[in-house]
C-alpha cells in the first residue's frame, strides 16, 4: 500500500470509475460527460471504458435529465447526474427541490431517491456572473437533501462512494478552482465519512470555519496568522446539510473566537446559519464578536481584479481573525 | 381519431362501467366532504374524465408504473389503490396511502407502482422518463404510463422529456389529458397550435388524438400504444380529448367558461354513453346501473367511515421520512481497485493546467 499523487479532478474520476466497476446499477449522466470527456475533463476516458449506456450524454435539458436521474434512482438504479455548473442547476431546481427532496416524505416513506447529483460551483476563473456563483447554501436550506462540498483530494476520492450508499438524494458541489489541486493520498483510499466536519489545522486562538474552495485560502491565511503568533484552527465543514454544529461548537468552546468564511453572499448564507447557531448555543463562550468573510454582494464580475476583490481572500480572512483576537496580538 | 372497436365481452364492459362509477361516486363524495370540512387543502376533481383512467390503466400490467398529477384520485382507484387508503389520505390519517403527508395531490402506492401524485404541472414527466430509463437499462419489458394535462404540454419540461424519451427510445406512454383548460386558461388562449398530438408527433413518436369521452376508444388506443411501447419502439403519445365538469379546484369560481359548454360536454358523458351502449346490447338491464351505484356508494360509505375513525399520525413522527432512518455504510472490504486511482490513462489532462479552457465550455442560453 503506497501513496499516489492525484489531482482533485483525477480523484473524482477515480471515484466515479470505482463506483461504475463496483456496482452495475451506477451510471453517469449529464451534458458532455461522454464524447467530450466532461466539461472539466472529470469523466475523460470513461466512455471508452464503460460505453455510452453507462456514460450517458444528455441533451441540454437539465429538468429532464436530472428528473430522469430521480426516476431511475426510484426504480433501482444508482445514477450519478452531472450538471455543468450550479448556475445551470437552476434549470433543474423544480426536480431537485420539488421531487428529489420531497418524494420520500410525501409518499410516507415508500419511495427513496438514491440519486447523486454533482455540479461545479464557485468563482475564481473569470467566468463572470452566470458561471461563477456559489449557490450550495441555497440547497442547504432544503430538508431532504444532503449537501457535500469536498475541499480536498481525499474527500474528492471518498465522498462519492459514501454518497452512493445513501438511500436519499445527495448533491456534491465541486469547486471549479480545485480541480487542479494535487495531493498524495493512499492508493487504496476508500470511502470517507460524510457526517462530520474535520479540523484541517488545529489551533488555539480562533476558529476559522469554511468549506470547499475557500479551504485553501483559509489555510493560507492561517499560515500568515501563525507568523504573527495567532494560532488559527481551520475547520472544513465538508457537509453543509446536515451541518455538524457539534464540531463547530467544540472548536469555538476551545478557541472562544469564530470567523466564518463562505463564498456565498453574506445575506441569508451558510455563514449566517453557522453564526446564529453559535450565538444560540455558545454565546457565553465567545470572547469576541463573530466575524464573517463572504463574497461581496454583487454578481461576480469578469475582470480579474474585480472578481478577486469580490471574493474572500487570505488577506481579508487573516484581517478578520486578527480583529477577533484584538489588535494587541 | 382512433375508431372504437367493441370487441369486449359483457363482463369486460361491466368492469369498465364499474371503474368509472367508482371514480365518480368517490369524487362526488369528496366534494361533499370538502364542503363539510372533512377534507381540506386543494382538491382537484376528475368528474367527466373517468373514461381516460378507466380506459388506459387496465391496459397496463402490475409490473408497469404509473406517474400521475394532482388530479389523480381516478388514476389511483383504477390502478387498485384501495379506496380506504385513498380516502384516509384525504382525511390526513396515518392509514392513508401516503401516511397523511401527501393529501389529495400526493397519493402514492409503492406496491402498485403508483408514483404519485405530482402537484407541479409537468413535474412527473422527467420522473417517468427516469423510471423507464431504469427499466430499459435493466432489460425489463415494463412500461411507464405518465399522465399529465394540456397545461403541462406548454411547459418546457414536456418538450425536454419528449425529446429525451424518443432519443433514447424509452418505454414511456405519455397520456395527455387534454381537458381544454389549464386551470382557467383555455387551450386556444395558451397554445399557438392546439393539435397536441400533431405537435408531439414532431418528436418522432407515434401520437394519436383519442376521443376521451369514449371509453372504448381510449381502451383501444391505449392497448395499441402500450403494445408499441412494450415492444421497445420507444414512447407513444396519446392526446385524450376530455373535459372536466367541475372547476379546476374547490377554490375556483369557474368564471372562465360558460355553462352551455359544460352542458354540451355532459351530453357526451362517458358513463352514460357506456351505459346506453350496454343497454342497447342487452348487457345492462333496467335498474342495473342504479344497483351498481348503490353498491359503489356502500364502498364509499365504508371508506369514509373507516377514514373518519382512523388514527392520526403521531406528531412525534413529524420529521420521519425527511431522510431515511437507515443508511448503509460503505463496505470496507470492497477496496477500490488500485489501478483505478492511478493517473494512468492516456489523454490525461496536464497537471499544470486544466485541459479544457473554461472558454471552451459549451455555452448555454
Last residue of a domain, one of A159, A186, A213: A186
Residues of B in contact with A74 (CB under 8 A): 115, 127, 130-131, 134
In a domain, B209, yes or no: yes
Length of chain B: 365
- Last residue of some domain: A133, A154, A186? A186
* One domain, residues A45 and A155: yes
Alpha carbon distance A11, A184 (integer Å) = 11
Q: Which of B98, B130, B352 sits opposite A108 (nearest CB)?
A: B98
Helix (H, G, I), strand (E, B) or coil at B220: helix
Which residues are CB-contacts of B305 (< 8 A; sequence separation ≥ 6)?
none
The DSSP secondary-structure symbol of A234 reads: E
Q: Is the pTM for the entire model greater than 0.90?
A: yes
pLDDT score at B355: 33
Helix (H) or strand (E) holding B127: helix B124-138
In order, the DSSP letters of A125-187 are: SS--TTS----HHHHTTSTT-EEE---SHHHHHHHHHHHHT-SS-EEEEEEGGGTT-EEEEET
- A158 and A204 within one domain: no
Residues 204-233 of A with CB under 8 A from B: none
pLDDT tens string A25-41 = 999 999 999 999 999 99
B324 with A168: Cβ contact below 8 A? yes
Please tell me whether residues A254 and A162 are part of one structural domain.
Answer: no
Residue B42 lies inside a defined structural domain of this protein? yes
Touching A: B residues 223-262, CB under 8 Å: none
In-domain check, residue B274: yes
For B184, counting Cβ atoms within 10 Å of its Cβ (0-12 exposed, 13-18 middle, 19+ buried), the class is: middle
Q: What is the DSSP string of B268-292?
A: T-HHHHHHHHHHHTTSS-TTHHHHH
Q: Using CB atoms, pick whichever of A39, A71, A190 lies closest to residue B126.
A: A71
Q: Which residues of B touch A143 (CB under 8 A)?
A: 322
Category of A144 on φ-ψ map: left (φ > 0), alpha (ψ -120 to 50) or beta:
left
Q: Which residues contact A230 (CB under 8 A, 6 or more apart)?
A: A205, A206, A321, A322, A325, A329
- Domain assignment present for residue B360? The answer is no
Pick from A60, A76, A190: CB nearest B330? A190
Q: Is the same domain home to A176 and A48?
A: yes
Q: Are B164 and A72 in contact (CB < 8 Å)?
A: no
CATH number at residue B242: 3.40.50.970
The one-character DSSP state at B109 is: B
d(CA A144, CA B43): 26
Question: How far is residue A317's CA from residue A133's CA, in Å, rounded to a whole number?
Answer: 20
Structural domain of residue A242, as residue ranges? Answer: 198-325
Is B363 an interface residue toward A (CB < 8 Å)? no
Q: What is the pairing mode between strands B144-149 and B172-178?
A: parallel
Residue A158 sits in the same domain as residue A178: yes
Tens of pLDDT, residues A197-253: 999 999 999 999 999 999 999 999 999 999 999 999 999 999 999 999 999 999 999
Establish if B331 belongs to a structural domain: no
CB A292 within 8 A of CB A323: no
Count structural domains, chain B: 1
Residue B120 inside a domain? The answer is yes
Instruction: Verify that A204 and A103 share a domain, yes or no.
Output: no
Mark yes or no for CB contact A108/B358 under 8 Å.
no
Q: Is residue A179 domain-shared with residue A207, that is, in the same domain?
A: no
| Domain boundary pick from A129, A158, A186 | A186
Q: Are B122 and B68 in contact (CB under 8 A)?
A: no
Residues A237 and A126 in one domain: no
How many domains does chain A divide into?
Answer: 2
B242 in any annotated domain: yes
Positions of chain A with pLDDT lower than 70, given as ranges: 1, 327-329
pLDDT at B363: 37
Residue B350 in any domain: the answer is no
Q: Is residue A281 less than 8 Å (CB to CB) from chain B? A: no
Task: Name the strand (E) or helix (H) holding B137.
Answer: helix B124-138
Q: Is the domain of A244 the same as that of A171?
A: no
Is residue A71 within 8 A of residue B131, CB to CB? The reply is: yes
Which residues, 6 or more positions from B68, have their beta carbon under 8 angstroms from its beta carbon? B75, B76, B107, B114, B115, B116, B117, B118, B124, B147
Per DSSP, B312 falls in state P
Helix, coil or strand: residue A79: strand
Residue A122 touches chain B, beta carbons under 8 Å? no
Query: In which domain, by residue range, is B101 found?
Result: 10-311
What number of other Cβ atoms are within 10 A of residue A105's Cβ? 21
| Rounded-to-5 percentages of helix, strand, coil across chain A | 40, 20, 40
DSSP bridge pairs for A239: A148
CATH number of the domain encompassing residue A144? 3.40.50.970
Per-residue pLDDT tens digits of chain B, which is 365 residues long: 555 566 889 899 999 999 999 999 999 999 999 999 999 999 999 999 999 999 999 999 999 999 999 999 999 999 999 999 999 999 999 999 999 999 999 999 999 999 999 999 999 999 999 999 999 999 999 999 999 999 999 999 999 999 999 999 999 999 999 999 999 999 999 999 999 999 999 999 999 999 999 999 999 999 999 999 999 999 999 999 999 999 999 888 999 999 999 999 999 999 999 999 999 999 999 999 999 999 999 999 999 999 999 999 999 999 999 999 888 888 867 766 554 444 434 333 333 333 333 333 333 33
B92 touches chain A (CB under 8 A): no
Q: Check CB contact of A40 with chain B, cutoff 8 Å.
A: yes
What Cα–Cα distance (Å) separates residue A157 from each residue in A161, A177, A206?
Answer: 8, 16, 30
On whether both A159 and A219 belong to a single domain, the answer is no
| Class of residue B202 by CB neighbours under 10 A (exposed 0-12, middle 13-18, buried 19+) | exposed
Whether A168 and A273 map to the same domain: the answer is: no
Same structural domain for residues A92 and A203? no
8 Å CB contact between B239 and B202: no
Q: Do A64 and B125 touch (CB under 8 A)?
A: yes
Please list, residue by residue across B295-319, b when 16 or more beta carbons sit within 10 angstroms of its beta carbon and e when fewer do: ebeeebeebbebbeebeebeeeeee
In a domain, A87, yes or no: yes
Partners of residue A99 in chain B, C-beta under 8 Å: 118, 120, 123, 126-127
Distance between CA B200 and CA A256 in Å, rounded?
A: 63
ipTM over 0.85: yes
Q: Chain A partners of B148 at a C-beta cutoff of 8 Å?
A: none
Angle B223-B229-B232 from CA coordinates, rounded to 5°: 140
CATH number at A266 reads 3.40.50.920
Amino acid at each position: 500500500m503506497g501513496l499516489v499523487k492525484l489531482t482533485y479532478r483525477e480523484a473524482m474520476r477515480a471515484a466515479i470509475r470505482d463506483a461504475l466497476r463496483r456496482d452495475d446499477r451506477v451510471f453517469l449522466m449529464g451534458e458532455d460527460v461522454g464524447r467530450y470527456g466532461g466539461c472539466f475533463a472529470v469523466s475523460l476516458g470513461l466512455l471508452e471504458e464503460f460505453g455510452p449506456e453507462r456514460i450517458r450524454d444528455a441533451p441540454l435539458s437539465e429538468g429532464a435529465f436530472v428528473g430522469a436521474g430521480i426516476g431511475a434512482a426510484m426504480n433501482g438504479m444508482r445514477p450519478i447526474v452531472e450538471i455543468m455548473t450550479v448556475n445551470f442547476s437552476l434549470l433543474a431546481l423544480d426536480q431537485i427541490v420539488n421531487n428529489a427532496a420531497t418524494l420520500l416524505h410525501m409518499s410516507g416513506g415508500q419511495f427513496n431517491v438514491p440519486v447523486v447529483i454533482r455540479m461545479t460551483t464557485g468563482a475564481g476563473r473569470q467566468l463572470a456572473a452566470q458561471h461563477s456563483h456559489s449557490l450550495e447554501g441555497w440547497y442547504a436550506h432544503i430538508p431532504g437533501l444532503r449537501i457535500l462540498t469536498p475541499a480536498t483530494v481525499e474527500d474528492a476520492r471518498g465522498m462519492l462512494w459514501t454518497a452512493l450508499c445513501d438511500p436519499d438524494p445527495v448533491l456534491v458541489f465541486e469547486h471549479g478552482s480545485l480541480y487542479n489541486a494535487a495531493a498524495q493520498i493512499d492508493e487504496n483510499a476508500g470511502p470517507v465519512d460524510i457526517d462530520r466536519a474535520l479540523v484541517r489545522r488545529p489551533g488555539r486562538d480562533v476558529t476559522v470555519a469554511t468549506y470547499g474552495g475557500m479551504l485553501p485560502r483559509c489555510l493560507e491565511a492561517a499560515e500568515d496568522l501563525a507568523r504573527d503568533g495567532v494560532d488559527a484552527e481551520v475547520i472544513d465543514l465538508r457537509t453543509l446539510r446536515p451541518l455538524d454544529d457539534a464540531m463547530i461548537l467544540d472548536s469555538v468552546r476551545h478557541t472562544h473566537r469564530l470567523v466564518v468564511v463562505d463564498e456565498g453572499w453574506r445575506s441569508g448564507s451558510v455563514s449566517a446559519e453557522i453564526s446564529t447557531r453559535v450565538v444560540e448555543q455558545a454565546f457565553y463562550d465567545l470572547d469576541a464578536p463573530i466575524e464573517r468573510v463572504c463574497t461581496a454582494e454583487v454578481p461576480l464580475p469578469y475582470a480579474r481584479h474585480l472578481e478577486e476583490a469580490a471574493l474572500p481572500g487570505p488577506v481579508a480572512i487573516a484581517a478578520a481573525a486578527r480583529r477577533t483576537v484584538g489588535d494587541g496580538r | 381519431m382512433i375508431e372504437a372497436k367493441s370487441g369486449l365481452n359483457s363482463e369486460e364492459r361491466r368492469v369498465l362501467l364499474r371503474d368509472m362509477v367508482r371514480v365518480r361516486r368517490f369524487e362526488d363524495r369528496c366534494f361533499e366532504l370538502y364542503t363539510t370540512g372533512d377534507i381540506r387543502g386543494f382538491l382537484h376533481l376528475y368528474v367527466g374524465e373517468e373514461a381516460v383512467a378507466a380506459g388506459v390503466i387496465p391496459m397496463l400490467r402490475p409490473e408497469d408504473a404509473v406517474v400521475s398529477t394532482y388530479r389523480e384520485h381516478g388514476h389511483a382507484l383504477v390502478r387498485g389503490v384501495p379506496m380506504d387508503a385513498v380516502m384516509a389520505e384525504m382525511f390526513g390519517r396515518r392509514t392513508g396511502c401516503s401516511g397523511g403527508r401527501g393529501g389529495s395531490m400526493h397519493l402514492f402506492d409503492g406496491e402498485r407502482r403508483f408514483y404519485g401524485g405530482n402537484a407541479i404541472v409537468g413535474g412527473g414527466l422527467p420522473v417517468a422518463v427516469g423510471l423507464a430509463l431504469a427499466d430499459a437499462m435493466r432489460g425489463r419489458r415494463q412500461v411507464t404510463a405518465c399522465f399529465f394535462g394540456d397545461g403541462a404540454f406548454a411547459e418546457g419540461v414536456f418538450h425536454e422529456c419528449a425529446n429525451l424519451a424518443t432519443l433514447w427510445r424509452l418505454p414511456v406512454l405519455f397520456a395527455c389529458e387534454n381537458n381544454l383548460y389549464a386551470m382557467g386558461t383555455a387551450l386556444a388562449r395558451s397554445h399557438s397550435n392546439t393539435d397536441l398530438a400533431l405537435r408531439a408527433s414532431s418528436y418522432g413518436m407515434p401520437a394519436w388524438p383519442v376521443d376521451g369521452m369514449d371509453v372504448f376508444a381510449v381502451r383501444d388506443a391505449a392497448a395499441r400504444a402500450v403494445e408499441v411501447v412494450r415492444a421497445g419502439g420507444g414512447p407513444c403519445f396519446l392526446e385524450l380529448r376530455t373535459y372536466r365538469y367541475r372547476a379546476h379546484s374547490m377554490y375556483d369560481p369557474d368564471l372562465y367558461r360558460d355553462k352551455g359548454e359544460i352542458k354540451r360536454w355532459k351530453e357526451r358523458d362517458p358513463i352514460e354513453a357506456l351505459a346506453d351502449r350496454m343497454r342497447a346490447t342487452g348487457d345492462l338491464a333496467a335498474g342495473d346501473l342504479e344497483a351498481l351505484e348503490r353498491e359503489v356508494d356502500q364502498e364509499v360509505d365504508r371508506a369514509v367511515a373507516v377514514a373518519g375513525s382512523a388514527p392520526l399520525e403521531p406528531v412525534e413522527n413529524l420529521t420521519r421520512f425527511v431522510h431515511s432512518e437507515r443508511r448503509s455504510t460503505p463496505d470496507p472490504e470492497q477496496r477500490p481497485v488500485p489501478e483505478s486511482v492511478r493517473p494512468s490513462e492516456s489523454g490525461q489532462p496536464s497537471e499544470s493546467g486544466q485541459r479544457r479552457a473554461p472558454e471552451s465550455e459549451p455555452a448555454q442560453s
